[in-house]
Amino acid sequence: MSETAAPGYRAVLALPQTKTVLALGILTRLASGLIPFAVLISFTQRHGISTAGLASGALMLAIALPGPARARWCAQRGPWAVFAMAAASALLFAIAATTLAMSAWPVPLVVTVSAGALLPPLAPMLRSLWSRLIPDKQLLQAAHALDSTVEELTFIAAPLLGSAALALADARWTLLAGALLLMLAATGLHRVLRGLPTPGAETTAPPTTETGTGPGGRSLIRSRDGQGIVIPIITLGLCAGGLNVIIPEASTAFSSLGASGYAFAAFSLGGLVGGLVYGRRTWKSPMRVRYTQAAFALAASTLVLAALAASPLMILAVFCAGLPLTPLFILAYLLVDERILPARHTEANAWLGSGYNLGSAAGAALGGQLIAATGPRVTAIALAAAAALATAVSHRLPTHSTEASTAQPSTETALPEA
Digit-coded pLDDT (tens) for 175-228: 999 999 999 999 999 988 887 766 554 443 334 433 444 444 567 777 888 889
Please tell me the predicted confidence (pLDDT) of residue 1.
40
Digit-coded pLDDT (tens) for 347-381: 888 899 889 988 888 888 888 888 888 888 999 99
Per-residue pLDDT, averaged over 321-335, amounts to 91
Task: Report the distance separating Cα 316 and Cα 57, nearest Å.
Answer: 31
Please tell me the predicted confidence (pLDDT) of residue 414.
37
Q: What does pTM read for this prediction?
A: 0.78
How far does the chain reach from its first CA to its final CA, in angstroms?
A: 14
Task: Report the distance separating Cα 198 and Cα 78, nearest Å.
Answer: 8
Digit-coded pLDDT (tens) for 64-96: 888 888 988 888 888 898 999 999 999 999 999
For the cut 70, the answer to whether the pLDDT of residue 58 exceeds it is yes
Task: Report the distance separating Cα 143 and Cα 408, nearest Å.
Answer: 22
Please tell me the predicted confidence (pLDDT) of residue 45.
84
Please tell me the predicted confidence (pLDDT) of residue 256.
66
For residue 27, list its beta bridge partners. none
Digit-coded pLDDT (tens) for 145-184: 888 888 878 877 777 787 788 777 788 898 999 999 999 9
For the cut 70, the answer to whether the pLDDT of residue 269 exceeds it is yes
Please tell me the predicted confidence (pLDDT) of residue 244.
80
pLDDT above 70: percentage of residues in the chain: 87
What mean pLDDT is reported for the chain? 82
DSSP H stretches of helix in 167-286: 171-194, 224-254, 260-279
Listed in order, the ranges of the chain carrying CATH 1.20.1250.20 are 2-194, 220-395
For the cut 90, the answer to whether the pLDDT of residue 247 exceeds it is no
For the cut 90, the answer to whether the pLDDT of residue 143 exceeds it is no
Q: Which CATH superfamily is domain 2-194 in?
A: MFS general substrate transporter like domains (1.20.1250.20)
Please tell me the predicted confidence (pLDDT) of residue 213.
42
Yes or no: domain 220-395 corresponds to CATH 3.40.50.970 = no
Residue partners of 358: CB distance under 8 A and separation at least 6 = 64, 65, 234, 237
Task: Report the distance separating Cα 281 and Cα 266, nearest Å.
Answer: 23
Please tell me the predicted confidence (pLDDT) of residue 7.
61
Digit-coded pLDDT (tens) for 3-48: 444 567 788 888 888 899 999 999 998 998 888 888 888 888 888 8
SS3 call for 4 = strand
Please tell me the predicted confidence (pLDDT) of residue 259.
64
Task: Report the distance separating Cα 131 and Cα 30, nearest Å.
Answer: 23
